[in-house]
Amino acid sequence: MSHSPIWHPFTQHGLGEPIPEVARAEDAELHLADGATVIDAISSWWVTTHGHAHPRIAAAIAEQAARLDQIIFAGWTHEPAERLAVGLRAIMPDNLTRVFFSDSGSTSVEVALKMALGYWRNRGEPRERIVVMDNGYHGDTIGTMSVGARGAFNRAYEPLLFDVTSIPFPHEDAEQATLDALEAACRDGAAAFIVEPLVLGAGGMLVYGAETLAEMRRICASHGTLFIADEVMTGWGRTGTLLACEQAGVEPDILCLSKGLTGGAIPLAVTMASEAVYQAHYAPDRSRMFFHSSSYTANPIACAAACANLDIWREEPVAERIALLAERQAARLADLARHPLIRNPRRIGTIAAFDVGDAQGYLSDLAPRMLAMFRERDVLLRPLGNTVYVMPPYCTTSDQLDAVFATVREVCEIVERST
Ligand SMILES: *Cc1c(COP(=O)(O)O)cnc(C)c1O
C-alpha cells in the first residue's frame, strides 16, 4: 500500500495510517479487499442516500453510457438533462425556475456566488459584499473557502481569500444577535447571504431552528440581498424533508445541490436560480452572458443517474425510510446520551451528533484515535474534532444501527478509561 503513488485528500501520509481498499459496496455495507465488511455510517462522506449500488441508478448509468456518454453543453442539450431539469422544477421551490449544471458542491457554490455578483452588476447597481455565517463550510476551492470558516484548513491560502462579512452562529437563546448582525450587513448593501439551512455540517454538525432560518430569509428579502441556500449536504432528505428550507417555509433566490443528487453514485451538481437572477443575465446580445462552464457540465451519464434518483423518490417509500431512520437515530442517541462522556447530543432528520468530552481543536489527536478505533471495529465513522456524527444511508437496518452505536459506546469507554 505504501508503494501507491496516490496522494489522498485530507490525509497526512507521514502518519503512516492504514488506507483500506474497498472492493465492493452494497446498501449500507462496504466489502474490503481483505474480506472484511464495514458499515458505512457516514454515507461515504454524506453522499450515499438510498444505499450503495442502488440497482435502478446502476442500470441508468449503464444504459446511458452505452447511448450518449458526453456532449458539450454550451449550445447543445440532451434528453437526460432536459428530463432532470423538468423533474427538479416539479419538486424544488416554485420560484426557482432555472437550472444550471456543474460537477460538485464546490462548483455549485462558485456558480451561485458568480450569479449573485453578476445579478447586481448587470442591473447596473454593483454590490459585492457576501455575508456568511461563522462555522460555515461551502467547499475547498478558493472562492468557497473565502465564504467558509477560516482555520487550520485554509490558513496557508488566506492571502488569496476575499473579504466577507461574518455573522455569529445562532446559538440557542442568542438568535437575536445573529439576526441583528444580518440586518446590519444587509442594510450596508450586501450582495448575497450564503448559509447552510438548519445544520452546519463540516463546521461541527451545529443545529439551529427553523424560525431563525425563516427570519434570516425575511431580513434578506427586505433589503434585496440575495439569499443563497447551500443545501449540498442538507438536501435530498438528510434533515427529514427533501430540503431543509421546507421546514422553515423558505424559498431561496439561489439553491445549491450536489451530494445525493445522483443518490451518491456519480458527481453532479445544480445551482437553481430565481427568474429575477436569470433575467438579470438575459439580453439580446452577449454582454450579460453567464461566463461559467466546465468540460463535463451536465454529463449525460450523471444526469441519467440523477433522473433515476428522482424516479426512486417518486416511486419508492423514501420519506417513510427517512422517518424510520430518524426515529431509530433518536432512540439510540437518547440511550447513548446517558454516557458521562457524551456532551451536547443533537439530532435532525437522519443525522445524530454529539461531542465526546470537552471541546478540542480539529488537530487534537482524539479524532484520529477514535477514527482508528472505529476502523478496527469495521465501522466507517469520521469524527470532526471531538464531534462524532452518525449519518447513514436511508436503507440502514436496525441491526446495523445497533452495531454502530454499540461501537461508539465501546470507543467512548476506552477514551474515558484513558483520560
Ligand atoms: C460538501 C459540501 C460542499 C462541497 O461539496 P464538494 O462536492 O465536496 O465540492 C459545499 N457545501 C456544503 C454544505 C457541503 O457539505
pLDDT at 362: 58
**pTM here?**
0.97
Q: How much distance in Å is there from the Cα of 106 to the middle of ligand 1?
A: 6
Atom of ligand 1 nearest to the CA of 200: 13
Q: What is the pLDDT of residue 418?
A: 84
Ligand 1 pocket, residues with Cβ under 6 angstroms: 104-106, 109, 137-139, 196, 201-202, 230, 232-233, 258-259
Q: What is the pLDDT of residue 370?
A: 94
The whole-angstrom separation of Cα 306 and Cα 320 is: 20
CB distance 265 to 58 below 8 Å: yes
Distance 259 CA to ligand 1 centre (A): 7
Give the whole-angstrom CA distance, residue 351 versus residue 111. Answer: 27
**Ligand 1 atom at minimum distance from 45 CA:** 1
Q: Ligand 1, closest atom to CA 233?
A: 15
Q: Measured in angstroms, how far is the CA atom of residue 110 from the centroid of ligand 1?
A: 11
Sign of the CA dihedral running 251, 215, 170, 149 = positive
The label of the residue with cell 451561485 reads 112
Question: Pseudo-torsion of CA 59, 60, 62, 65, nearest 10°?
Answer: 180
Which residue has 438548519 as its cell numbers? 198
Q: Which of 139, 182, 178, 180 is closest to 161 using CA atoms?
A: 139
Report the C-alpha gap between 294 and 31 in whole angstroms.
34
Tell how far the Cα of 238 is from the centroid of ligand 1, in angstroms.
14
- 3-state class of 133 per DSSP? strand
Cα 339 from Cα 337, distance rounded (Å):
5
- Return averaged pLDDT per consecutive 10 residues of the chain, 419 residues in all: 86 92 98 98 98 98 98 98 98 98 98 98 95 98 97 92 98 97 98 98 97 98 98 98 98 98 98 98 94 96 98 98 98 96 96 88 79 97 95 98 98 88
